[in-house]
Structure 1
Amino acid sequence: MQNSEWKFNDLPNVAVIVNRKIISSGEWIAYVSHDSVDGAWQFHTNQITPLSENDAVLVSLKSIVDLDHSITALADLPLGWCAWRSSKDDIWQKAQLSD
C-alpha cells in the first residue's frame, strides 16, 4: 500500500480495539467509535450486549481496513463521533457521541 492510498490521519499500525468475533468468526462491523479522550478507534459487531474485556482484542487499523475496505469511508470521522450501519452493505451513518 502506498502512503497516498492511506486515508486515515492515524498510521496504519496504530492499535485499535475490535470485537474478537470480527477477527475470528468473520462477523461484520456494525458500529465504530472514535473516542474523544484518547482518539482510540473501536470496532463492534451488531450484538446488543456490551463488549466484555474477554471479547476485545487489539489489532492494527490497517488490518481492519484490509478486512473491510468500507471502513475507509470513516477516515474523516472526527474525535468524539461514531458511525453505524444496519447491514454489511448499508451506507455508514455518522453522529456525534453524546456525553
Structure 2
Amino acid sequence: MSHAHSFDESTWPFRAPINTASFTTIRVLDASLPILEVYHDHDGDWQFMCGTTNASEDAKVVCLGCMVERDPTLVQLADLPDGWMAYRESPEHPWSREEYEDSDAENEA
C-alpha cells in the first residue's frame, strides 16, 4: 500500500524505489535511539541500525522513504554500493564508509 512522505519525492536519490522494504530496529522506530549504522547488503537490501542490537526479535521492516523521512542525512548514503556500510558516532558526526564481508557467504563456506 502506498503512502505519502513529507519530502519532495521527485528528488529521490536512491536507485531503489521509495517504498522499498528495509530493515531497522524497534529502538530506531520508537525514536529512543538514532541511526548510527547503515548497511547496503550484498543482495541490495538496506538496514538502518542503532548499533545496540541485531536480535531478530528487535527487527522491523519499514519503507525506505520512511527511514529517510526519519533521518534526512541518509540521502548522503544513496550512492553507497552493495556490500558497503556507513557508520557515525552520533547524529552530529559525519558518516564514514567502508566495505564489509558478507556473513551469509562465510556461513556457506
Give the TM-score of the pair, scaled to structure 2: 0.82
Gaps of 5+ in 2: 1-7, 103-109
Equivalences for residues 1-99 of structure 1 within 5 A:
1-3=8-10, 5-36=11-42, 38-47=43-52, 50-99=53-102
Deviation at 1:26, TM superposition (A): 3.4
Aligned-pair RMSD on alpha carbons?
1.2
Separation of aligned partners in 2, 1:2 and 1:17: 20
Q: Deviations over 1:52-72 (max 9, x none)?
A: 111000000000000000000
Separation of aligned partners in 2, 1:10 and 1:78: 12
Deviation at 1:2, TM superposition (A): 3.5
> What letter is aligned with 2:9?
Q
Identity %: 33
Provide the aligned length of Structure 1 versus Structure 2: 95
Deviation at 1:46, TM superposition (A): 2.6
Do the aligned partners of residues 98 and 2 (structure 1) sit closer, same or farther apart at CA in structure 2, a change above 3 Å counting?
closer
Give the TM-score of the pair, scaled to structure 1: 0.90
